[in-house]
Structure 1
Amino acid sequence: MASSIFFFLLFITFSYFPLSTALSSEAIFDAADVLADSGFVSMALTLEVIAESFLTHSPSATVFAPSDSAFRKSGQPSFDLLRFHFVPLPLPPQSLRLFTAGAMIPTMLPGKSLTVTTSSSDRITSINNIKITESPIYDDGFLLIYGTERFLDPNFQYTGPNPRSNNNPSCVAKNYTANSSDSFDQAIETLKSGGFSAMASFLGTQLSGVSEQSGITVFAPADDMVLNRIGDLSELPWFFRRHVVPCKLLWNDLVNFDDESELPTFLEGFTINITRNGGVLVLNGVQVFYPDIFFNDKVAVHGVSDALAAQ
């Protein structure tokens, strides 16, 4: 009976919050108009010509747009060089500022990643030793575009200190309590507004009030992915618990884990294996496409492209 009520609540929630699965052509052309108005005419024209062929297959992206002077100096860039300036993740300024020097960011050019080169004393983020605009030129929450003075070099070699590696995670699954929590309320509202209503409902009914000092991390599949994976209603609690880790891990923490690191979850015996595919962070074969959807002192939430299953 309880499972049936929970599923009914999920259905009602889905009815009020639209699903978000891919960037729209309208958003891409709106972004091109904003780029042109901001003095990035060459990249605006480029975006209109090439971006729709692969951006419309991605639910989110960040673009680093070279200036018009960069296009004049370099001539027409190759398609691969342009793809190197596209990241299959939405990276707002608050997320970029969390990266330490040496952190790697995957790009849409297979096998190639950008490197964060911002030091603790820098006010403006730099990528591959090239500063980007402090604020996005365009930002609708899913597509973000920053400006750069030059093209980013795919052959850039980082020579600074590497970020600390966490190859022995200290996360340990613990019991949780069901007290009210402002941290959860904020996370739930953010998830609902972003197309992750199923995970929001689970947080509100099943995990509200986690009280461990280390907090939690939620890997949230979009609503349509949840609906595709739900079978027996009695399995719902287990389905969701395998997406929750008993410590708070921001994106900057995740990218610093070694390949084959494992994270425990609230589902006993179910672990999340961290690997990389062409520079993209992968959890049990599923890509992280929306890092740091939400985070505060207790909760971190990251969007994943599908439901997590045992490997």
Structure 2
Amino acid sequence: MAVALLLLTLLLFSLCHALPREAIFDAADVLSDSGFVSMALTLEIVAQTLLQQSHSATVFAPSDSAFKKSGQPSLDLLRFHLAPLPLPPATLRQLTPGSRIPTLFPGQSLTVTSSDNSLVSVNNVKLTDSPIYDDGFLLVYGLDKFFDPTFQFNTPTPNSDSSCSAKNHTDSFDQAIQTLKTGGYSAMASFLGMQLSGVAEQSGITVFAPADDMLMNRIGDLGDYPSFFRRHIVPCRILWNDLVDLGDGTELPTFLEGFAINITRSDGVLILNGVPVFFPDVFFNDRVVVHGVSDVLSPQVNQPHVHEDQEILFDPSEF
């Protein structure tokens, strides 16, 4: 227990450092050398301010011809091309069409429109096959035009799986942890790895994962860690198409006794305890489903007292 809390403390401490200024200038130099001069200059001017609170980021860089055609973009449009999490090619190719990517433009996200081993497009704009710049924390992809903030995507209806039962697939639990780590959910990944690795056949869980940036100022004392993470995990496997079918007012029990997740909607957006789901089906296999949420899940005003067990994070028998 003490070792687990120490590891989480070190992890969260490491996430508190913003992107170094040198990395941004290095990325700008590479962009300029690669023929993205306009975005290189823009990045040098605005990125330090826009990314000063981010420990990692992905930049989608429009080409010089896009700048020539559209003119100098507004600050909000630039924010729409910055994602506050690292997205290496392996992660992007695992995302299904309809997956949302958060941006620094408040209330706006990008949508994956195609992904396979050779092609990834976002908002129907093809990305370069590999990052122009990648130091593990800051990644830059090239685009031939600007993203359109008004873009709408009609999500295809996937085949429905039973929401509370495991299936006989061969994907491993480790894949879920790796996807979380590479997708900007390192804290949640580390917690799951420390608490669930080695657990035998499971009946399925659903993880509602806040991104690392959202956790920086939301976890206090070490004693808060167990209850904090337990309230983001449901003892039931719920894919996105099953989740959206649940009616307003539905409550999902969690591994924190007395804490439930209440489902509502606002302008068609699924809301969990007041927090929007912005990245459905970040990962799913036979045991685990992960959905990204835009903030940490807090108790509702009328929710009964929550029992915070600080000694046992997970009881394997619960699975």
Normalising by structure 2, report the TM-score. Answer: 0.66
Secondary structure in 2 aligned to 1:118? strand
Once the two structures are superposed, residues 68-107 of structure 1 have per-residue CA deviations (whole angstroms, 9 ceiling, x without a partner) of 1212222222222222222233333233234444444343
Q: Is the 8 A contact 1:295 1:301 kept in 2?
A: yes
Shift of 1:228: 1.1
Is residue 2:147 matched to residue 1:147? no
Could you list the runs of 5+ residues in structure 1 that have no partner in the other structure?
1-5, 175-181
User: CA 1:240–1:87 in structure 2 vs 1: closer, same or farther (change >3 Å)?
Assistant: closer
Is residue 2:89 matched to residue 1:97? no
Q: Is the 8 A contact 1:13 1:197 kept in 2?
A: yes
Is residue 2:220 matched to residue 1:228? yes
Amino acid in the other structure paired with 2:125: I
Once the two structures are superposed, residues 133-175 of structure 1 have per-residue CA deviations (whole angstroms, 9 ceiling, x without a partner) of 12222233333221111122223344xx423389999348x9x
CA distance in 2, matches of 1:211, 1:127: 36
User: CA 1:286–1:59 in structure 2 vs 1: closer, same or farther (change >3 Å)?
Assistant: farther
| Partner of residue 124, structure 1 | 119
| Partner of residue 54, structure 1 | 50
| Partner of residue 207, structure 2 | 217
Q: Select 1:33's aligned residue among 13, 29, 35.
A: 29
User: CA 1:97–1:247 in structure 2 vs 1: closer, same or farther (change >3 Å)?
Assistant: farther
Percentage of matched positions with identical amino acids: 52
Q: Select 2:157's aligned residue among 157, 164, 178.
A: 164
Secondary structure in 2 aligned to 1:217? strand
| Partner of residue 308, structure 2 | none
| Partner of residue 240, structure 1 | 229
Q: In terms of mean alpha carbon deviation, does 110-119 or 273-282 score higher?
A: 273-282
User: CA 1:92–1:211 in structure 2 vs 1: closer, same or farther (change >3 Å)?
Assistant: same
Shift of 1:48: 0.7
Q: Select 1:72's aligned residue among 54, 59, 68.
A: 68
User: CA 1:131–1:47 in structure 2 vs 1: closer, same or farther (change >3 Å)?
Assistant: same
| Partner of residue 304, structure 2 | none
Secondary structure in 1 aligned to 2:113? coil
Amino acid in the other structure paired with 1:272: I
User: CA 1:16–1:307 in structure 2 vs 1: closer, same or farther (change >3 Å)?
Assistant: closer
Once the two structures are superposed, residues 108-155 of structure 1 have per-residue CA deviations (whole angstroms, 9 ceiling, x without a partner) of 2234333333277x9412222221112222233333221111122223
Q: In terms of mean alpha carbon deviation, does 93-102 or 267-276 score higher?
A: 267-276
| Partner of residue 272, structure 1 | 261
User: CA 1:204–1:153 in structure 2 vs 1: closer, same or farther (change >3 Å)?
Assistant: closer
CA-atom RMSD, angstroms? 4.7
Q: Is the 8 A contact 1:103 1:163 kept in 2?
A: no
Could you list the runs of 5+ residues in structure 2 that have no partner in the other structure?
167-171, 301-319
Shift of 1:45: 0.8
Q: Is the 8 A contact 2:176 2:284 kept in 1?
A: no
CA distance in 1, matches of 2:270, 2:43: 25
User: CA 1:60–1:299 in structure 2 vs 1: closer, same or farther (change >3 Å)?
Assistant: farther
Once the two structures are superposed, residues 226-263 of structure 1 have per-residue CA deviations (whole angstroms, 9 ceiling, x without a partner) of 75154xx4x7644432232335678xx49x84796765
CA distance in 1, matches of 2:84, 2:11: 27
| Partner of residue 3, structure 1 | none
Q: Is the 8 A contact 2:92 2:115 kept in 1?
A: no
CA distance in 2, matches of 1:38, 1:276: 44
CA distance in 1, matches of 2:137, 2:57: 6
Once the two structures are superposed, residues 21-61 of structure 1 have per-residue CA deviations (whole angstroms, 9 ceiling, x without a partner) of 33332322222222122221111110110111111123433
User: CA 1:49–1:297 in structure 2 vs 1: closer, same or farther (change >3 Å)?
Assistant: farther
User: CA 1:228–1:199 in structure 2 vs 1: closer, same or farther (change >3 Å)?
Assistant: farther
Amino acid in the other structure paired with 1:67: S
| Partner of residue 194, structure 2 | 204
Amino acid in the other structure paired with 1:164: T
CA distance in 2, matches of 1:278, 1:27: 39
Q: Aligned pairs, how many?
A: 289
